Structure 1
Amino acid sequence: MRNGKIIIVDDNEAVWKALRIILSREFQTVVGISDPTLLPALLREEDVDVVLLDMNFGTGKQTGGEGLFWLDRILERKHPPAVVLITAFGDINLAVASLKKGASDFIVKPWDNENLIQAVVSAWRKRRLKRPENTGESVKNERSEVSVNSSDQLINPLIDFLLHKHATHYGKPLPRLTPEARKKLNTLVWQGNMQMLEQSIERALLLKEDTTLTADDFYTETPPDTMEPTLTLEEMEKQFIREVLQEKNGNLTLTAQQLDISRQTLYNKMRKYELSQE
């Protein structure tokens, strides 16, 4: 259970109650309201980590203008919480506008529970790093947690992508990895050695006929003078996203599915890394 406070703002009581049930499993305090005019009072103590904000309030209003208005009001505060916008209409222009204004992410109804939790947890971590009381050792600990969780979101999809890529190339069935084998490959990811990671996976697929690969099937030693420069997690993520985009011919929906993230998160990462669909 994370020590965080989440505010859900949606004029549909059934929606915010459902969201509160989901997020209460992850955070200590989750509050739901139907009226956004209550936000200023709730944000006065500056103890809110994330606001999950609906884009439309009132029957027949589907422009998203109210959501953008309240997004501005939230972000103009001295120490604003992170904001994740949620709407029933997946309008890309609205998504881009909200991200440019400073929203952390954008979720489309009906939502996927795992993607929703991932978006809110990610926003919570970013907010925790910016909190004024986070100094010294507390900042160090928060940054360590963000690094670990960011890698968790990247490592397994990256390994699975490379396994699928080379299994397909050589016409072999997709193998299963033992926990020890995955742990061994994780070490290469942590080292930032993408070249050795891919070579180890390709070599194991070529030499092993079994559908289960163990740690001993992966050769991970290489002479120091042939080691490629270590990549940071961000550099690795950028390279991974670029490769998946190329494989999916720039199809953002398929790319997001392969990466196991929402389209809105993919848009955000593409802007961050200056990646195009080409």
Structure 2
Amino acid sequence: MVDAKILVVDDNKSVLSALEILLQFEYKSVQTIFNPNQISSFPNLNDIDIVLLDMNFSAGVNTGNEGLYWLKEIKKKSPNTSVIMMTAYGAVDLAVRALKQGASDFVLKPWNNERLMTTVKSAYELRKSKQEIHNLKKKENNLKQVINEGRNYIIGQSKALTSVLNLVAKVAKTDVNVLITGENGTGKELIARELHRLSTRKNEVFIGVDMGSIAENLFESELFGHAKGAFTDAKEDRAGKFEAAHQGSLFLDEIGNLSLQMQAKLLSSIQNKSVVRVGSNKPIDVDIRLVCATNCNLEQMVADGLFREDLLYRINTIHIEVPPLRERNEDILVLADFFLKKFAHKYDKSGLRINQLAQEKLMEYPWPGNIRELQHTMERAVILSDGNVLKPSDFLLHAKPMQSFDSEPMTLNEMEEQMILRALEQNEGNYSAAAEQLGISRQTLYNKLKKKSD
């Protein structure tokens, strides 16, 4: 017996009895209504899987309009319930109208029992499919809420930050591509998430991709997906990041790390607003809001032949420059207090505060690692604190000039960090030039910096 609930609505009691007898041996619950006006007050209509609905209830009327009216009412209250229309007056145009208004099928009286049972079974399968789709959409929406939930905050009230946030608010409602630039640790991803939060796509997913961490041989598969059998480990079809972000926002971080070959493939997908999975030749349309970020000088990279000029024009319809923390002096203590409370709660150390001398030390420090460095500094201080007051000695700050061989020796890691910072300073933040000066690849430089910031 099928665990389904069926409701029969007909003004002919003989019809109600016949259908109840026919269906009760196959379906768990069969209920009947003689007067269609009872539909409006029928309890738990959403729980009904199938409604068998007569199309004519008034004597001498055979237009089917009454049935169409009640079909509409049922669909308002329970959109996923399958409705089968019944009438003794068969007309193709009436059947078409009923199907267009949401009926799942159409049965003529007198009916053939076997055919009617087949129709009811199909309607039940349709109901189950709609319910599964409804449940999947609910899960998808819940997942999007979890992914997009505001776990990170933009903290600060400085003029430099306010200017950036005003620009974000203006741009967010549009779908133009945005390029966010700024030093490591300034919060470029937070700005990208704020763009998404304020956009018309806020209820869709935000997908972030660290372009610097994707190996070149995996680039196409990660971004565009692959078809089953495209390569040895491709055991099934897989959607890439572009498809995953469909109707939402796609954030490509560290876009300056892409090789020219990968830039060309990315440009093609952006221009065509479609992707082709590896191992397939079928284009898949994608609708995304593209936001890119980098700490590189892309204009200089274009001049050096390291970045495609046409790709740069595509990704920076609007350019947002995120200021470094040293240009947001009035935000340093605000951020420090925020991180202090966050980590005090995390490590169960309530009542912590920063004394005046420690505050002055934080304000005087140039914060080369920006907000990320401040966050890690505060976490370290909270973990290692012995009392309720954080003093200058509780904050381990590492910005110091390169030492000579006559001074106190540094560890190899400290020396490497200083060399990297000096190379970046001498080359005005140009990663390619700094890497060349240090005799390492750009990818190696990026990985070393990321490891240190983590």
| Range into which the TM-score falls when normalised by the shorter chain | 0.3 to 0.5
In the superposition, the TM-score normalised over structure 2's length comes to 0.29
Identify, as 1 or 2, the structure richer in helix. Answer: 1
In the superposition, the TM-score normalised over structure 1's length comes to 0.46
